[in-house]
Amino acid sequence: MQFKEVIGQTPAKELFVQLAREHRVPHALLLLGPPGNGKLAMALAFAQYLNCRDKSDTDSCGVCSSCVKYRKLIHPDLHFTIPVLKTAALSKPTSTDYLPKWREFFLANPYPVYERWNQYIAEENKQGMIYVDEASEILQKLSRKSYEADYKVSLIWLPETMNLSCANKILKVLEEPPANTLFILVSEEEQRLIGTIRSRCQTIRLPKISEADLTRALAGHPALGENNPATVARISNGNYILAEEFLREDEVRKFNHRQYTSLMRSGYGRNLQELLAWSDDLSSIGRIRQLSFLRYCTDFTRENFMSNFKQPELISMDEEEGKFAGKFAPFIHERNVLHLFQEFERSLKDIASNGNAKAIFTDMALKVSKLIRL
């Protein structure tokens, strides 16, 4: 991955080049920012730049032996840590067990999504985690001498999925890694990271992709068709993942929208039978899709609330969503919007903690039916 392949983020690219050329590379970086802004791609581009044999003032060469291995994710001094799943065959899984699948997945999706990774490894009802056995593997890998690179790079995707035992076990090496070792942690949910992890890293925040940069990137997208790239960029609000969903008419997004509208219509009508049936349906779709739906609830509720201010540049909706919001938005207002957010967030945390889905969605549906009547 080269910097030029990462959409936008010019200030961050310039910062990373400066750190490398001035030999001020910290021992641990924490990259934060909104979904779909290219944090993981940027982390990989920086690691490739550090170890490039013929780097320029702006980017890695892309053709030296180090760059070729980085492009294929097979460099011996690049170590990935990713959420994995326990199975009957793998009772103590580590990232190494899933590395072939991860290479396939990332090379096809350089802007990856946690839910899709879970689906890709074929366990929709389970959520990937970074388990304690991963810590031992990290320590073992980093204790070895570098094979050929200037820097050994330990790239941890979604450190917030790390269980507490694993997090505590890597604290010492994270604070005092071996010479010429760089940790890069890429997080989607900063609030879930334990403080001792955050305190050992230098934090760099990447903003959402600018509308102009996203427009240019989408102009050559194979799924663009007759869509206007500028319109898709505006709707996507700096999120490349969301932009691709719009272009490909993602079925997950359509499903989430149908379920949201069903909840709100049945809730407003105080139709208990429909709400219970809705809860039954949602409790049967698998936890990964349930989490995706609850995140959609938060996002689309926000879009409906912002619609009331009549400022199109602040809104990110497709045509179908816009038609619904045209009638529904007035029911999302100052008296209930924060309460709705709290209900969706509470439900998301309960589902993520493997709570009883039927009870969670039933309770949420009944509370939503009250809130939209305020």
pLDDT digits (tens, 9 = 90+) for 192-202: 888 999 999 99
Q: Is the pLDDT of residue 136 over 90?
A: yes
Q: Which H/E stretch holds residue 30?
A: strand 28-32
Considering the chain, what is the average pLDDT of its residues? 90
pLDDT level of residue 124 (50, 70, 90 thresholds): low
**For the chain, what are the domain ranges?**
3-205, 210-248, 251-371
Percent of the residues in the chain that have a pLDDT greater than 70, as a whole number: 97
Q: How far apart are CA 370 and CA 374, in angstroms?
A: 7
239 beta partners: none
Q: Which H/E stretch holds residue 156?
A: strand 152-157
pLDDT level of residue 127 (50, 70, 90 thresholds): confident
Q: Which H/E stretch holds residue 184?
A: strand 181-186
**pLDDT higher for 309 or 226?**
309
Could you please state the CATH topology (level 3) that the domain comprising 3-205 is classified under: Rossmann fold (3.40.50)
Q: Is the pLDDT of residue 250 over 70?
A: no
What pLDDT does 116 receive? 85
31 beta partners: 186, 204
User: Which of 4-13, 191-200, 234-243 shows the highest mean pLDDT?
Assistant: 4-13
- What's the one-letter identity of residue 264? M
Q: State mean pLDDT over 147-174.
A: 93
Torsions phi, psi for 209 (to 5 deg): -70, 135
Determine the straight-line distance between the first and last CA of the chain, rounded to whole angstroms: 50
Q: How far apart are CA 321 and CA 358, in angstroms?
A: 27
Q: How far apart are CA 202 and CA 188, in angstroms?
A: 16
Strand order of the β-sheet with 28-32 is: 78-81, 152-157, 181-186, 28-32, 202-205
In this structure, what DSSP letter does residue 151 have?
S
What pLDDT does 317 receive? 79
Angle between helices 251-268 and 272-283 (to 10 degrees): 150
What pLDDT does 249 receive? 64
Q: Is the pLDDT of residue 125 over 70?
A: no
What pLDDT does 304 receive? 93
Closest Cα to residue 101, out of 77, 127, 67, 73? 73
* Least confident residue range of 52-56, 72-76, 120-124, 140-144: 120-124
What pLDDT does 295 receive? 86
How many CB atoms sit inside 10 A of residue 172's CB? 11
202 beta partners: 29
* Least confident residue range of 100-109, 145-154, 240-249, 357-366: 240-249
Residues ≥6 apart with Cβ < 8 Å to 214: 7, 8, 233, 236, 238, 240, 243
DSSP β-ladder status, 28-32 and 181-186: parallel
pLDDT level of residue 363 (50, 70, 90 thresholds): very high
Task: At 267, list the tokens.
Answer: 């809730």
Q: Is the pTM of this model over 0.85?
A: no
Q: How far apart are CA 154 and CA 359, in angstroms?
A: 41
pLDDT level of residue 330 (50, 70, 90 thresholds): very high
Q: Is the pLDDT of residue 235 over 90?
A: no
